[in-house]
Chain A
């Protein structure tokens, strides 16, 4: 199973251009439907909360999109989020190290980028398949997190750190500002810079990209490091939202992120897709739980959240299959 195989078909950057329109219409349709059934859903306050919950997925999803575009994957982001959350707690809590907030922020961002860099080096220089490298890292990071937490939760985050999570500017919490800024930045990087062009090139046809003189290892490693940095950003704006740092943060997070990337139209083989789709799909997937709550189907409805998210992914791949069939006039993948 190779993630970065070259594949036939039109190599347009917005190869799944229709996809994010589909996701957008689905998102709008579900929002409208739920609002009609329960008007309490359609308030500014509620949308703000919803967006706030999606923020970490959006932030990390942007970084993940770049990695997937090169044909790789990183399933360790959940464990990294947990580790960085624990780091925030340990570094800033007066009972532990009690460092000043700016130092904590700097250290957390550096740690995130460093882990991302390590992943990148393992994949490029170590030639370890990215799914294995990040699978190993996922386990190691979770172990390190438990080690530094020492079996206790951290309950006394100082206000200087908590303001990152609960503070706001002009009515919008920091996490929303971050998510918006990161999304815009990444759209620019992916579609308007030479680096973005190289990303798509590597994912589309690694051999051709290398022959064209693109420094594949450098581009990939940078993508991984950037993803780690974004995980740091996400940790800084979401972990301080709670006053307690627990050891189970981030479990399962990587799957929501990868799902958002895939549902948003980015091909797992690389070379196709984009940031917009990821952001929209993140909103859709994260919105499932709040929507279920507002539909007032009873307590038990929220148990179906994961099933519905899985259903979305399957629907996305079916759509892809049918779309490709039409575009080429025959089923893709058949020997011809």
Chain B
């Protein structure tokens, strides 16, 4: 295939890890079909798919951040900040379109703060995003005084629940973004840069790659996506509160790592991440549907996360 091939991926369309994930996904769905046939019906899946849009939307840019050798623990908090900003702007009578744009912009600004600390101040991304995880959510809590805001206009809520081409509008949006991301990363020079930085940052610098700018751009993009996820969440749930997205950051990292991205950077694909998201989503919904026991889901997902790395190490074709 033409175009730059990112370091760490192969020239095949789909890697072994992704193939295994796809097989696992099919296995889970087959098991679900046997256990609860109504679950895999197209209508059910369509309705349930809206539960995963925030996870998918957040996981895609986070995958790129992790591939570049960083990490972002603040995505859930940025989501909350954006949601709160949207809510408060709406309350002061501002147009929803402007409010949504402002929310995404706030997300992007928050992300760029992360990027600035990581790239310019040269602080370890774990520490920066740990701090901003607390700071942004704290900001959301302080600004909104902890109270929920609801009563959003119908046309806005329809983004959350409306359909287009037989698929929920929000899901379509996320799928388009995913497709764009997939193509952009595989075929652009910037995509190759991200992998180069993750693989060997010093060498990337020597190659003349503008490492700092790329990093800032990645974190800003991550922040903007988190802002958008916050907007979509409010559209879906008709409520904006400072606890939006609590715990999302861990789910996102789980999905990304499950999808085959190495936490050390340099390896990982968006397709793998999407498969990871799908797997977590289906497992969670299946357990909810059949057993109504959320705690089982947590145990399963946590175990799968650890097991996937252990297996990789045992099989031996990845450096630990």
Name A's B-contacting residues (CB within 8 A).
Answer: 1-3, 73, 122, 126-129, 131-133, 135-147, 255, 258-259, 262, 268-269, 300, 303-311, 313-314, 317-318, 320-321, 331-333, 335
Q: Which of A136, A309, A333 contacts B303 (CB 8 A)?
A: A136
Shortest beta-carbon distance from A70 to chain B in Å: 15
CB distance from A94 to the nearest CB of B (A): 25
Q: Give the secondary structure class of B's interface.
A: helix
User: Do residues B202 and A335 form an inter-chain contact, with CB atoms below 8 A?
Assistant: yes
- B residues with CB within 8 A of A: 66, 69-71, 117, 121-128, 130-139, 141-142, 145-146, 202, 205-206, 250, 253-254, 257, 263-265, 294-299, 301-303, 305-306, 309-310, 313, 320
Instruction: Let me know if B136 and A317 touch, CB within 8 A.
Output: no
Contacts of A309 in B (CB 8 A): 134-135, 138
Contacts of B124 in A (CB 8 A): 1, 268-269
CB–CB B135/A311 < 8 A: yes
Q: How far is the CB of B13 from chain A (nearest CB, A)?
A: 27
A137 touches B302 (CB 8 A): yes
Contacts of A320 in B (CB 8 A): 123
With A129-B309, A268-B127, A303-B142 known as contacts, the answer to whether A146 contacts B71 (CB < 8 A) is no
B298 touches A314 (CB 8 A): no
Q: Are A255 and B130 in contact (CB under 8 A)?
A: yes
How far apart sit A34 and B112, CA to CA, in the bound complex (Å)?
34
Q: What are 6 inter-chain pairs, A to B, with CB distance below 8 A?
A: A140-B302, A142-B295, A143-B302, A307-B142, A313-B127, A317-B128
Other-chain residue from B122, B130, B135, B301 in contact with A258 (beta carbon distance below 8 A): B130
A313 CB → nearest B CB, Å: 4
Closest to B265 in A: A1
Closest CB in chain B relative to A76 CB, distance in Å: 9
Residues of A within 8 A of B313 (CB): 126-128
Q: Is the CB of B121 within 8 A of A321?
A: yes
| Set of chain B residues within 8 Å of A132, measured between Cβ atoms | 257, 263, 305-306, 309
Which residues on the B side are within 8 Å of A308 (C-beta)? 138
In the complex, which residues of chain A have a beta carbon less than 8 angstroms from the beta carbon of B137? 306-307
How many Å from the CB of B139 to the closest CB on chain A? 5
B residues in contact with A140, CB < 8 Å: 298-299, 302-303, 306
Interchain CB contact (< 8 A) of A1 among B117, B125, B139: B125
CA distance A306 to B69 in the complex (A): 27
Determine the chain A residues whose CB is within 8 A of the CB of B320 once the complex forms: 127-129
Q: Which residue of B lies closest to A149 (CB)?
A: B295
A133 to B93, CA, bound (A): 47
Determine whether the beta carbon of B126 is less than 8 Å from that of A131.
Answer: yes
Bound together, the chains give a CA A311 to CA B131 distance in angstroms of 7
